[in-house]
Structure 1
Amino acid sequence: MIEAILVLNAGSSSLKFQAFAFEDLSVLAQGKVTRIGGDAHLSAEAGGENVSRDLPTGANHEAALKAVLGFIDAHDDNWRIRGVVHRIVHGGTDYTHPVVVTPEVMRDLEQLIPLAPLHQPHNLAAIKASEQLVGDVPDIACFDTGFHATHGDLFTRFAIPYELHDQGVRRYGFHGLSYAWIARTLAREYPALHAGRIIAAHLGNGASLCAIRAGESIDTTMGMTALDGLPMGTRAGAIDAGAVLYLQRDLGMSIDAVEVLLYEQSGLKGLSGLSNDVEALLATADPAASFALEYFALKVAQFAAALAISMGGIDAFVFTGGIGEHAGPVREAILARLKLLGSFETLIIPANEELEMATQAKTLLEAL
């Protein structure tokens, strides 16, 4: 009997999974369901065998998880799932470490949906599906905000009255599971750098930077929500709050319309008028695509310079995420603008949020 940890990473239209052996966290199976809600498709691998098949049109997250569990049942070699681990984007101030999900925890996390409307509902939908389908095993929540719980007041407050901060209007930071993996990897493979000052860049459809000193998060570009900071695939990033008021009061846009604009129609997609796919933008000669990528590189460099100030310098710059790992011209454009910061090492560390989640969950399960 092999004990396993099943890690689920649910997005708005996808469900990524990996099954790890509990003992050594080796990968037993992995895959994803894409286009959930539309022409859903499962692609998965276990034991050297690959599966690729369509799901019924319109399949929801529960149906996607059923397909994942069906694949595992068909390909396991006497596994027993000891726990199901879920990526939760927003844990607020109360949830900074992995927890076993209880009804009280679910109620608390549902209260945070307005702070992460693109992610939180789907994260929680995966938990509800797991509770129904997997059986009597603990569901464990790991939080993208948790890595940033070490921030001091200078890096959590907005310049607003204190009573609003106490009601939750503050900076949290995200992509923490990705940054925790980077810190863990640096500690193992680059201990001298781990002890120093790192700017980590998680650049993908969602994008942010994190200042990490001696393995702890000092500052980050995302704030109260995952909308702030860098321009992203479809998200605007930092924008004058007065512009948002103008969109509503003077241009007559509803709150819902502004939310769609800032989350789904802006960023690289809005700037280029073409796509949020960096590979596609790099491949075209359209000037709007070049402008969008130049704007993105400029903003990454500007925010990186600010983070260098937050921690008193920089010893290394680490790229991760789809753009960070694979878009060489974008990396070069960013680094060219950072030459004024002096010399520092540059690394690419592949993202592995699922293994970070499995590692955190294993520690929690061993303590139960």
Structure 2
Amino acid sequence: MFADFSSSGHINCVLKDSSTCYGYLSDIKYLENMCGAIANSNTGKSLGLVLGNLRKLNGDGDLLVICSWSWLWEQLMYTKKPESAVVQKQAVNQSRILNNSPVLPIVLSSQDLGTSWGSCVLFNERTLVTNQHVVASFSSSKEISASILLNAEKSIALGPDDQIIFPSEGLDLAFILLSPSHQMELAYILPANLGLSDHLKQGNVVRTAGYGLLLNENGLTPLISEGHISSKVSLRPFLQSEPIPCMIIASARCWNGSSGGGLFNSKKELVGIICSNAQVYVPSIHGNQSPKTEKVPSFALCIPIELVIECYQRKVLGRDHSVLSKEVEQIWKLDVPHKDIFERNAKL
């Protein structure tokens, strides 16, 4: 049955440094005995061999790992030199190429909690936008440091001259206003081109970009995942404001570390900020709520760019004291507006 079996998916990340392409990460579902399978591009070009899958110890993530032919060829051509031979080590400088993507990793560290990271997007020349939960611990504790990682050798340490603004407690959104010196350090990066999520329709192709699952300092490239618009909710975010998109649900994947990354349309325009994936209860046959939950990576909850701009204009530029509407807070709490009723048990 499974002879000549094939699966299709997308390349989410290229694992490489300045000189070598080691392999690829793909959202193709890994199945038993796929190790050693040939991975081809949609043009028929052979990329390499399947090595296995990448999954964290807590169960997060499930990406196919593909070894590139170029790296495999280097390993096969390696020959051990005679012991009498004198090996001359040549000093090799690490790549100093800076990441020029508007999507950047933000790394938080402390002696007690260790290191964690999220993502952020260069919104304009002086502002980074991310999630409240990504930088809340740094904002409230002097024991935690935060830095924007540019490459293996360079990062920007956030300090007292940088300001963090949370527009609303009920919205997982944060603005990082950079100091003049830090603005200069990021001057080589162009801010993200902004689009309008209001133009998006169900089924339109979108892509997520964020530093989920792994953070490769020697080759900073965000994980890219393609999907479609599943749902979009429009509400009045503030009193006397017009209805605008206030939540986007997309089938593009996101993982731990993707929070604060960007949702982009087919024109590579920023249309939203990634907040989280979904954690849902495992379905029960008889309608009783199961205590077990599972994460759904192909379910990205995103803040539409219109709501980001509205909050920026009111809370950052205008210093407005208006409060986010309860309707918007309610949808972001994922409150259930109804109760399921089962008239009879399902028959199998």
Same fold (TM over 0.5): no
Structure with larger Rg: 2
Q: TM-score range by the shorter chain?
A: under 0.3
More helix by share: 1
Normalising by structure 2, report the TM-score. 0.26
More strand by share: 2
